[in-house]
Structures are given as structure tokens and as C-alpha cells.
């Protein structure tokens, strides 16, 4: 039996990126029950990839109730729907075997990972206040991609003068804007820039020196993406909602590392259930961005632990 649930979580504050604002996170939770054992997984449909709650639910509803994780990989394309089912099947298999998911995957026992904390896009002074409030965090992430980006970056740096920063432009810059901004990003101590140019219009990145590492987000979904981004990027941002689950996420991580890419593990804005499998994926990553639950006003039962060491692996009662 595959159950499809639509859950809503209030955000702690309005969250804004260059594409718009939200006050709630709308997610799909999949519950699979077999022989009295249940597994759960969560996904966040993303309109940028043509997904909605309805379209993802329809994809999942079309699956046979007894589908296996191996069969799932070809039954659905990479994306949010396959992610929720894949992670639910990992959880189910772990509980049925009386083992943890990392044992089933042949991975070492995971530990906590330092995660970025994302500052919502806002006016510079408000972003400065956000940065000052969160200057104690080990890594800040800034959403940019607007005409006033330098003022926002300068405000954040003033609010958190010593905190490492990564920047996510969400495809919001042109080649000319990025060429102009890049030296200033380096001067202000930015460690990484995500997706400065639109996916499919990023050829310029292969033609320039990249003293500031550039990370593919919208340009990299699964292993098939690697051929398209060759020579353009230094890191890949692996998100389970893009790869279509932990199964392909682990495969993409291994393939990307073999081709010399640095690894970033990111997330959409979801609950601890969505982040839990990604903590396994993030082990050893150069950058981890699994702050979704920190942006929520409410979370699931048995949530992930976040402390000075970072985000900790999930308890079995949550997932895996």
C-alpha cells in the first residue's frame, strides 16, 4: 500500500528568493506499508521543474503497490515524486531488516555535518540585521540574483564580518553581471557561488577562469547532467528532489567525485523527514546546506538535531 499525504508547515518567517516569497512549505509525504512495517519519505514539488503537488501525487498514484526500489528507478523520472517513494522504500527496507539505512547502503556510520544557514532575500538593512542575528553560525548562505546584489552582499558582510559565506544567484545573473560581480564576491570572502547563470545558458563559465568555485544547481539533476556541465562548474549541488531519491543521489555523488567535482548537498524547504536521507549523502561533502527545518516554525515528531556540531543523523523513529 502506498499512501500519499499532503502536509503543510508554517515558516518561521517569510522566505524570499529571486523567484518569489512564501510563508508555508507544502510537501508530499509517502507512507508505504508492507507486512505491518511502514516506511516514509518526503518530497517538495518545485514549479521551476514543472512540478506541482497534483502532478507529483499523480505520478506516485500510478505506481504499483509492490514496486521495488530497483524498478522505481525506471518507472519514474528523476524528480520529487521518485524521491519521496525512493526514500520511503529505503526506510521500509531498513526497518524490515532491523538495520540502519547506512548499513544497507554499505556506508560508514554518519556523523554531524556543519550546515549552511540561508538568509532570505530582503532589503540590505534587513539582511544586515539577519546576518548579525546569525553571525554565530559557521556558514551563511545568501540568496541573490537581483539588481541590488552588491548592496545586499555588503550589508551581510557588515552584519557578519567573520562568517564564511556562500552565494546562490538562482540563475538570476547574465554573463555580463557575473563577470562584473565575481571579483567583488572574492574580495568579500565568498567561498562558493551557486548557479550564477541560467541552466542552458551557462556556456560562458567554460570560457573564463574560475578563482571563485562555481556550483551547478539547476544545471545538475542526476548522472545524465554531468556530460552537459563538463568544464563549466567546480561543484555540483546534489538535492534528493532533483536526483529522484537517495539511490540516484549516492550514484551521482560517486560519479561526480570520480570526474573531479566537489560536492555540495542541498535541499528544498522541507521538514526533517526530507533532510534525513540527505544527511547520509552529505558525509564528506565540501558544503552542506540542509537547513530546511531551521526555517520552519514547526517540524515533525522526532526531528533532526541541530547544534554546534551541525545537523546530526536521524533517529530511527524519524527515518532509516
Three-state SS at 50: coil
- Told to judge if 257 belongs to the known catalytic residues of this protein, a careful annotator would answer no
Say what the alpha-carbon torsion angle 90, 95, 100, 104 is, to the nearest 10 degrees: -50
List Cβ neighbours of 274 (8 Å cut-off, separation of 6 or more): 27, 42, 43, 44, 240, 241, 267, 268, 292
Choose, from 95, 141, 232, 239, the residue flagged as catalytic.
239
Three-state SS at 244: coil
Choose, from 141, 143, 232, 242, the residue flagged as catalytic.
143
Three-state SS at 21: strand
List Cβ neighbours of 302 (8 Å cut-off, separation of 6 or more): 272, 314, 315, 317, 318
- Told to judge if 126 belongs to the known catalytic residues of this protein, a careful annotator would answer no
Three-state SS at 65: coil
List Cβ neighbours of 180 (8 Å cut-off, separation of 6 or more): none
Q: Cα(312)–Cα(109) distance, rounded to whole angstroms? A: 11
DSSP per position, 107-138? PPPP--B---EEEPP--HHHHHHHHHHTTTSS
Helices 149-159 and 175-187 sit at what angle, rounded to 10 degrees? Answer: 20
Q: Alpha helices, DSSP H only, in 14-79?
A: 53-61, 69-75
Active site residues: 143, 239
Amino acid at each position: 500500500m502506498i499512501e500519499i499525504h499532503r502536509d503543510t508547515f508554517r515558516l518561521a518567517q517569510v522566505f524570499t528568493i529571486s523567484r518569489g516569497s512564501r510563508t508555508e512549505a507544502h510537501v508530499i509525504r509517502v507512507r508505504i506499508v508492507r507486512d505491518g512495517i511502514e516506511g516514509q519519505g518526503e518530497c517538495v514539488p518545485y514549479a521551476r521543474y514543472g512540478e506541482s503537488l497534483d502532478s507529483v501525487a499523480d505520478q506516485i498514484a500510478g505506481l504499483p503497490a509492490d514496486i521495488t526500489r530497483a524498478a522505481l528507478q525506471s518507472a519514474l523520472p528523476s524528480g520529487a515524486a521518485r524521491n519521496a517513494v525512493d526514500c520511503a522504500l529505503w526506510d521500509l527496507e531498513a526497518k524490515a531488516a532491523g538495520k540502519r539505512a547506512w548499513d544497507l547502503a554499505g556506508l560508514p556510520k554518519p556523523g554531524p555535518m556543519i550546515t549552511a544557514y540561508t538568509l532570505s532575500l530582503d532589503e540590505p538593512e534587513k539582511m544586515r540585521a539577519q546576518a548579525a542575528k546569525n553571525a554565530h553560525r559557521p556558514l551563511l548562505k545568501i540568496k541573490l540574483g537581483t539588481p541590488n546584489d552588491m548592496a545586499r552582499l555588503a550589508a551581510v558582510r557588515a552584519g557578519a564580518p567573520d562568517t564564511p559565506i556562500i552565494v546562490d544567484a538562482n540563475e538570476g545573473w547574465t554573463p555580463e553581471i557575473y563577470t562584473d560581480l565575481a571579483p567583488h564576491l572574492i574580495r568579500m570572502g565568498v567561498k562558493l557561488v551557486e548557479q550564477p547563470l541560467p541552466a542552458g545558458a551557462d556556456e560562458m563559465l567554460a570560457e573564463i577562469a574560475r578563482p571563485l568555485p562555481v556550483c551547478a544547481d539547476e544545471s545538475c539533476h542526476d548522472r545524465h547532467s554531468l556530460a552537459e556541465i563538463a568544464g563549466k562548474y567546480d561543484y555540483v549541488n546534489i538535492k534528493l528532489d532533483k536526483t529522484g531519491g537517495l539511490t540516484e543521489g549516492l550514484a551521482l555523488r560517486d560519479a561526480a567525485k570520480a570526474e573531479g567535482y566537489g560536492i555540495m548537498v542541498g535541499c528544498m524547504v522541507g521538514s526533517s523527514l526530507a533532510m534525513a536521507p540527505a544527511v547520509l549523502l552529505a558525509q564528506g561533502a565540501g558544503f552542506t546546506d540542509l537547513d530546511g527545518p531551521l526555517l520552519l516554525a514547526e517540524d515533525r515528531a522526532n526531528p533532526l538535531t541541530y547544534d554546534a556540531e551541525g545537523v546530526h543523523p536521524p533517529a530511527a523513529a524519524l527515518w532509516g
